[in-house]
Amino acid sequence: MSTPPMNTPANPMAESGVDSPVRAPAAISAAQPRPLYWSVRRELWENRSIYIAPLAVAGVMMFAFLITLRSLPHDMLRESGRQPLNLAMPFSHSAWLLVLTAFIVAVFYSLDALYGERRDRSILFWKSMPVSDLTTVLSKATIPLVVIPLVTFAIILATQVIMVSLSAVVLMGSAAGNTALWWARLPLFQLDLLYIYGLAVITLWYAPIYGWLLLISVWARRTTLLWAVLPLLVIGAFERLAFHTWYIALLAQDRLIGFAAAALAFKTPEGATVDPHFIPLAQLTPGNFLSTPGLWLGLAFAAIFLAVAVRLRRYREPI
């Protein structure tokens, strides 16, 4: 009895397709689109303090605002017909406190962004993924430079809406209810534009700080915060002892608060001092800020720090 012929192809490679090795990388690339986008999403998943910390601060401020609502009708009657500087202070204080919180969150995130993956050895896994060191470092730099400012402004806006709504409810049930329309005189829209402008200015001005912290994060083996500030302290102390000058200290001070003088005019053309709680849009000086040499020098140093961080990460190993 003869065995029936098998239906095995003469050339197995012809069945699978000679171009399958060529299609495989394309399939992998299609399955994992936008690596930078998903790397940023991963940072948000793994670092919930990015939004939890500002929300916690906003909750504390909201509780304090609820306590002050008891005196709101009296304040409305007392301030009726006048510029509402006192009633604008809660909005201004809460917004700038959230901006300060965002800066603190960004500092500690940057210090741990590249150090943490070496400490918990997850760098071995991420290096095995088809994501370059450049994409990884840029995704981590995107958090303090883009994501945290956007999250902060969204929380400021939500807090502002809740504060206005609660104030309206309290006023409707009081003798000052007929002055509820007085809230229309409160320039909330101008304040929102000021917050957007302020967040953009602060982010650009602090870019070299975040770049330096990311560089320390990828380089240091421990105590990243100490390594971030120790060089400045040593150089500053040496300068003071050797030359009796304060240039390093003044440079650090300018990098921390110098953006205010460059981006805002705190005096009117008539020489009057502007209340910092109620800065008119006419006092914003974006042209002067963009023409400040310190801004562009800082951005250049930020780019250098990030480039060095990318280079160092290629050779980093778990701690």
pLDDT reading at 19 higher than 50: no
Return phi, psi of residue 194, to 5°. -65, -40
Can you give the pLDDT at residue 299? Answer: 96
Can you give the pLDDT at residue 191? Answer: 82
- Per-residue pLDDT tens for 71-102? 666 666 555 544 555 667 778 888 989 999 99
pLDDT reading at 6 higher than 80: no
Q: What band does 8 get if pLDDT is binned at 50, 70 and 90? A: very low
pLDDT reading at 17 higher than 50: no
Q: How many CA atoms lie within 13 A of 86 on its CB side?
A: 13
Can you give the pLDDT at residue 85? Answer: 59
Can you give the pLDDT at residue 173? Answer: 59
Q: What band does 25 get if pLDDT is binned at 50, 70 and 90? A: very low
pLDDT reading at 24 higher than 50: no
Can you give the pLDDT at residue 18? Answer: 43
Can you give the pLDDT at residue 92? Answer: 83
- More confident of the two residues 181 and 101: 101
From 128-132, 166-170, 220-224, 313-317, the region with the lowest mean pLDDT: 166-170
Q: pTM score, two decimals?
A: 0.83
Domain boundaries, the chain: 36-313
- More confident of the two residues 270 and 157: 157
Can you give the pLDDT at residue 186? Answer: 67
Can you give the pLDDT at residue 267? Answer: 78
Average pLDDT in the chain: 81
From 15-24, 90-99, 198-207, 239-248, the region with the lowest mean pLDDT: 15-24
One-letter amino acid of 174: S
Q: Distance (Å, rounded) from C-alpha 156 to C-alpha 102?
A: 11
- More confident of the two residues 163 and 271: 163
Can you give the pLDDT at residue 177? Answer: 52
pLDDT reading at 212 higher than 70: yes
pLDDT reading at 278 higher than 90: no
- More confident of the two residues 273 and 183: 273
Q: Distance (Å, rounded) from C-alpha 80 to C-alpha 65?
A: 20
Q: Distance (Å, rounded) from C-alpha 291 to C-alpha 281?
A: 19
